[in-house]
Amino acid sequence: MKGSAVAVTLALLMMSPGAQAGDATLDARHQWSQWRGPLATGVAPHGSPPVAWSETHNVRWKTPIPGKGLSTPIIWGDSIFVTTAVPYGEPLPAAAEHADGAHDNLAPRQKARFMLLAIDRRDGALLWERVARDERPHESTHATGSWASASVVTDGTLVFASFGSQGIHVFDMQGERVWETDLGDMQVRHAHGEGSTPALHGDTLVVNWDHQGQSFLAALDKRDGKQRWKVMRDEITSWSSPLVVEHGGKAQVVVAATRRVSAYDLASGKVIWEAGGLSRNVVASPVAAEGLVHVANSYDWQALLTIRLAGAAGDITGTNSIVWTRERDTPYVPSPLLDGDNLCFLKHLSGVLTCVEAKTGKTIFGPQRLPGIRTVFASPVSAAGRMYVIDRSCNAVVLNYAPKFELLATSTLDDSFAASPAIVGDALYLRGDHHLYCIAADDAE
């Protein structure tokens, strides 16, 4: 459901292609090292997967995944990484701290193994599995969520798996533990579960910890987990993942939340700019390109803000740093897709799509209802100018979206999907509630 909008460093983007799985010199533009892809926008710039598929057509392989997790498949070389939480043992008695926070919550009635799996991209075989933590979750999660919703992130050398309240666990590409740290227990609004994924930029791992207790943003050294800085935040629960962007030769961390969308200096943690305008329950993660950051949500009200980084300082609410806004058809759980000049987003959780000019907010098309698409948690992705949208009921559509809407195909599979897809090369990777699929042309080698 959720995962990270994590910036890829310029150094990684400029690396030359390598030849071996797990090789840190592989070209990051051809990988899916973070939940929103190599550009942190949902786009696979070198991908071209099939347009249509079914259980008997264009499925290269299908492998079962134990337990439940909503993290997107993260891919580097020939390795795919997913997290999951596997309940086991006899049912435990309910306790006050484990009670459901709402009628649609799932209380932790058993202990769980919080696991990281490495799967072979070539045939779907399990390469290795590691138990990061073995314990009973301290509070409920939403019935449609999981206790393993945050995606991992990798730089081709280390794999960073966050289970939130169950700790951050770091392994090398062969599954050897490098370090771990525990930042405490989140007290999530309505005990609806956790979902924010850390952001990786250079040697810094950034963790957002917005909850009903003391919220904070922390920067850790990726090599050993030592804290570089930690800043307190006056915020309540959010599920959005931080985004690292570079502007004027400096990196800044953009965090979308209820009271403020804020940008912090990556080196020091100092606030650079902030703006109000979003409502509670911020889930969708920001996207950015060409000096513009786009943030959106849709809960108490609908809102989309486009912020110009040049000149943004202090409280920019209502200033010219807000380039354009939108107050209808904005996303709730699925994050926006930003592909070149096009910004596309789904309305709330529905299959209603709008595409606009990223720089001006001018509507290209929409709101356009996608045939057969109902409730959507997974964020849309794109490759070769085509957009891929998949809903909870296994229905998928593929479409062209520039310069106008054109439906190309509809497909379905025998699973349920909430994790955001990944694209590498000729393949689309779909993580369902029960299986991980590799969608690739039947005649592909």
Name residue, tokens 């090599």. Answer: 223
The per-residue pLDDT for range 268-314, each reduced to its tens digit, is: 999 999 999 999 999 999 999 999 999 999 999 999 999 999 999 99
Taking the C-alpha atoms of residue 104 and residue 119, their distance in angstroms, rounded to an integer, is 32
- pLDDT for 97 equals 58
C-beta of residue 83 within 8 angstroms of C-beta of residue 161: yes
pLDDT of residue 443: 73
**Structural domain boundaries of the chain?**
10-439
Q: What is the DSSP string of 65-106?
A: --SB--PPPEEETTEEEEEEEEEESSPPPP-GGGS-SSTTEE
pLDDT at 98: 59
Tokens of 183: 């930042």
- Residue 160 pairs in a beta bridge with 153, 170
Please report the DSSP string for 261-272 in residue order. EEEEETTT--EE
pLDDT attached to residue 25: 84
User: In which residue ranges of the chain is pLDDT below 50?
Assistant: 2-21, 444-445
**354, 365 in Cβ contact below 8 A?**
yes
Residue matched to tokens 């533009």:
29
Residue 369: count of CB within 10 angstroms of its CB: 12
Task: Please say whether the beta carbons of 302 and 327 come within 8 A.
Answer: yes
- The pLDDT of residue 387 is 98
| Residues present in the chain in total | 445
- Residue 19: what pLDDT? 33
The arrangement of secondary structure in 10-439, i.e. its CATH architecture, is 7 Propeller (2.130)
In this prediction, residue 211 carries a pLDDT of 97
Q: Which has the closest alpha carbon to 195: 418, 432, 428? A: 418
- What is the per-residue pLDDT across 184-224, written as a single tens digit (0 to 9) for each? 999 999 999 999 999 999 999 999 999 999 999 999 999 99
